């Protein structure tokens, strides 16, 4: 197979030989100070790096240069996204699944767990529970099962979610994480107004991928790896990539992930909207020790920093799989979105639905409530944001990317973050969070550079206190 970044064939745009060559190149240059400094210099322009350059940084074994790299990641994060952190929650619709993924307790052969699929009535209850926490943005999750979870069920569920308005609650953006599907189905998802289509690759190594997915449609490496191309062809221009770190060799997957981003950019003119960095966690029937590729916290932090530097325009997501400590460390290195108050089981949010829900897809390391997470972010000077403005304003795909690449998105993110935080403080926050949040907003208003927007934001924040909702720019 040849390496071709624009190819339609996954084995050419994620090319095995090219990855092996890159690993070798990184090894050879781990102490090549001149080369590493040159790459860091180039990275300062924030135009991104190639997979090869990024991997040299990941391989760097020079302590002072690693320090420089971490500082650059922090700087780029602030330059592009400011200090807002967007919050979301996963919503599990169904744990029926026909696949055999060996690392997931929902795999078809696991007969120990009860299977559950939410009815539309139950979805309403879950959504109201999420709205009452303060969430505005969801990531929909469901196993792959054409009989129990056909596309029609997913579409109907999305419509249900958008239709529910409880008190001041709204779900304003539904991102969708469902199995690889057809262009036609992606078109249908686009029509019902999804935000980002998210699909994790798990691992880019074809051989390992096939071993980890021994049965079911997910076994087909090419069909899975080419899913983002079909999503783009179906009109979804915000796609979210990710690998499950710890399943396989992290070096291979790091390079594969960046090659995937390069491919989407080369073929469609727009790289991934987000990159997620999940690490494998324990769950029913799953012991991470069965996978001997687990990565420690230091490597994990370096991966986050290197991705931030390599694709500065891409949002980065970390979930409650990670502990408070780890999340705190990587937040400043490049993460722009986190989940909070999450449940990873079907029917996990509504109190009446909690029984017999088939258990969690994985154990959570961060079990704090959303309010605790909001206050924690505030205490570190981050603005917790419930913003969903871009896609509702038509800023998706290349329109969104061009704003980010010009470094202009931060000017929009900050006022939106303050306004959605203000909504949260009025409607859902505890007294302490409200007090801390108000102080933070007052401190942050003067940092809005554009004077007109700054003054307007002051007015909008007042409007929100008077009861107006969903103001966005
Ligand atoms: Fe099914 Fe997804 Fe779990 Fe695989 S990871 S078994 S596709 S729910
Ligand atoms: Fe995200 Fe756009 Fe809101 Fe910024 S303004 S937080 S990029 S939706």
Query: What pLDDT was estimated at residue 81?
Result: 84
Q: How far is CA 233 from CA 6, 155, 409, in A?
A: 14, 19, 26
Q: Ligand 1, residues 117, 180, 211, 218: which to mutate, most atoms within 8 A of Cβ?
A: 218
What is the Cα–Cα distance from 49 to 55, expressed in whole angstroms? Answer: 9
Whether this prediction's pTM lies above 0.75 is answered by yes
Task: Tell me the CA–centroid distance for residue 235 and ligand 1, in Å.
Answer: 25
Question: Using CA atoms, how far apart are residues 100 and 107, in angstroms rounded to an integer?
Answer: 5
Ligand 2 near 419 CB (within 6 A): no
Q: Exposed, middle or buried: residue 463 (CB in 10 Å: 0-12, 13-18, 19+)? A: middle
Residue closest by Cα to atom 5 of ligand 2: 413
Q: Which residues does the chain have with pLDDT short of 70? A: 282-283, 286, 288-289, 291-293, 354-358
- CB 93 near ligand 1, within 6 Å: no
H-assigned helices in 340-465:
370-379, 389-392, 397-405, 409-427, 431-444, 451-465
CA–centroid distance, 243 to ligand 1, in Å, is: 14
Residue 320 has what pLDDT?
Answer: 85
Residue 368 and residue 394 in contact, taking contact as beta carbons nearer than 8 Å: no
The closest alpha carbon to 382, from 309, 340, 444, belongs to 444
Separation of alpha carbons 422 and 416, rounded Å = 10
Name the token pair of 339: 């989940």
The per-residue pLDDT for 291 is 67
Check pocket membership of 97 for ligand 1, CB cut-off 6 A. yes
Ligand nearest to the CA of 175: 2
The pLDDT value recorded for residue 364 is 82
For ligand 1, the distance from its centroid to the CA atom of residue 283, given in whole angstroms, is: 13
What is the predicted pLDDT for the residue at 247? Answer: 83
Model pLDDT, residue 292:
61
Q: What's the confidence (pLDDT) of residue 358?
A: 67
Nearest ligand by distance to the CA of 86: 2
Query: Which residue owns the Cα nearest ligand 1 atom 5?
Result: 104
CA–centroid distance, 412 to ligand 2, in Å, is 7
Query: Rounded to the nearest whole angstrom, what is the distance from the C-alpha of residue 387 to the centroid of ligand 2?
Result: 6
3-class secondary structure per residue, the chain:
CCCCCCCCCHHHHCCHHHHHHHHHHHHHCCCCHHHHHHHHHHHCCCCCCCHHHHHHHHHCCCHHHHHHHHHHHHHHHHHHHCCEEEEEEEEEEECCCCCCCCCCCCCCCCCCCCCCECCHHHHHHHHHHHHHHCCCEEEEEECCCCCCCCHHHHHHHHHHHHHCCCCCCCCCEEEEECCCCCHHHHHHHHHCCCCCEECCCECCCHHHHHHHCCCCHHHCHHHHHCHHHHHHHCCCCCEEEEECECCCCHHHHHHHHHHHHHHHHHHHCCCCCEEECCECCCECCECHHHCCCCCCHHHHHHHHHHHHHHCCCCEEEECCCCCHHHHHHHHCCCCCEEECCCCCCECCCCHHHCCCCCCCCCCCCCCCCHHHHHHHHHHCCCEEECCCHHHHCCCCHHHHHHHHHCCCHHHHHHHHHHHHHHHHHHHCCCHHHHHHHHHHHHHHHHHCCCHHHHHHHHHHHHHHHCCCCCCCC
pLDDT value of position 356: 61
Q: Measured from the CB, is residue 188 less than 6 Å from ligand 1?
A: no
Asked if 50 contacts 62 with a C-beta cutoff of 8 angstroms, the reply is no
What are the phi and psi torsion angles at 139 (to 5°)?
-115, 115
pLDDT at 354: 62
387 lines ligand 2 (CB under 6 A): yes
pLDDT score of 135: 98
Residues 6+ apart with CB under 8 A from 27: 59
- 177 Cβ below 6 A of ligand 2: no
């Amino acid at each position: 197979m040849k390496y071709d970044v624009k190819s339609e064939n996954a084995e050419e745009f994620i090319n095995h030989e090219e990855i092996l060559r890159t690993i070798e190149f990184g090894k050879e240059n781990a102490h090549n100070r001149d080369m590493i400094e040159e790459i860091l210099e180039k990275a300062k322009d924030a135009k991104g790096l190639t997979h090869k350059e990024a991997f040299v940084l990941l391989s760097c074994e020079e302590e002072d240069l690693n320090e420089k790299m971490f500082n650059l990641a922090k700087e780029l994060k602030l330059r592009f996204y400011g200090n807002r952190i967007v919050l979301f929650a996963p919503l599990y619709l169904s744990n029926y699944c026909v696949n055999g993924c060996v690392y997931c307790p929902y795999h078809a052969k696991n007969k120990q767990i009860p299977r559950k699929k939410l009815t539309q009535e139950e979805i309403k209850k879950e959504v109201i529970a999420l709205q009452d926490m303060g969430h505005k943005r969801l990531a929909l999750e469901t196993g792959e099962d054409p009989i129990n979870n056909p596309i029609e069920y997913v579409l109907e569920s999305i419509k249900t979610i958008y239709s529910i308005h409880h008190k001041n609650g709204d779900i304003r953006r539904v991102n969708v994480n469902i199995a690889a599907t057809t262009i036609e189905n992606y078109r249908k998802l686009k029509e019902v107004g999804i935000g980002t289509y998210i699909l994790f690759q798990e691992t880019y190594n074809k051989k390992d991928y096939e071993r980890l997915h021994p049965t079911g449609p997910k076994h087909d490496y090419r069909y899975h790896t080419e899913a983002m191309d079909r999503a783009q062809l179906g009109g979804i221009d915000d796609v979210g990539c990710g690998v499950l770190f710890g399943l396989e060799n992290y070096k291979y997957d790091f390079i594969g992930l960046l090659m995937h981003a390069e491919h989407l950019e080369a073929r469609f003119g727009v790289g991934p909207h987000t990159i997620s960095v999940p690490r494998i966690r324990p769950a029913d029937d799953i012991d991470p020790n069965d996978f001997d590729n687990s990565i420690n916290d230091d490597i994990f932090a370096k991966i986050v920093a290197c991705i931030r530097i390599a694709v500065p325009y891409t949002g980065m997501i970390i979930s409650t799989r990670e502990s408070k400590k780890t999340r705190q460390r990587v937040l400043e290195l490049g993460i722009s979105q986190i989940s909070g108050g999450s449940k990873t089981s079907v029917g996990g949010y509504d109190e009446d639905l909690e029984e017999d829900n088939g258990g969690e897809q994985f154990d959570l390391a961060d079990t704090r409530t959303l309010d605790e997470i909001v206050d924690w972010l505030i205490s570190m000077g981050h603005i917790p944001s419930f913003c969903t403005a871009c896609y509702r304003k038509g800023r998706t795909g290349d329109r969104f990317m061009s704003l980010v690449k010009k470094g202009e998105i931060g000017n929009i993110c900050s006022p939106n973050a303050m306004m959605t935080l203000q909504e949260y403080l009025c409607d859902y926050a505890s007294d302490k969070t409200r007090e801390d949040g108000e102080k933070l907003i007052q401190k942050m208003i003067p940092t809005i550079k554009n004077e007109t927007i700054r003054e307007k934001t002051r007015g909008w924040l007042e409007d929100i206190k008077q009861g107006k909702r969903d103001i966005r720019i």
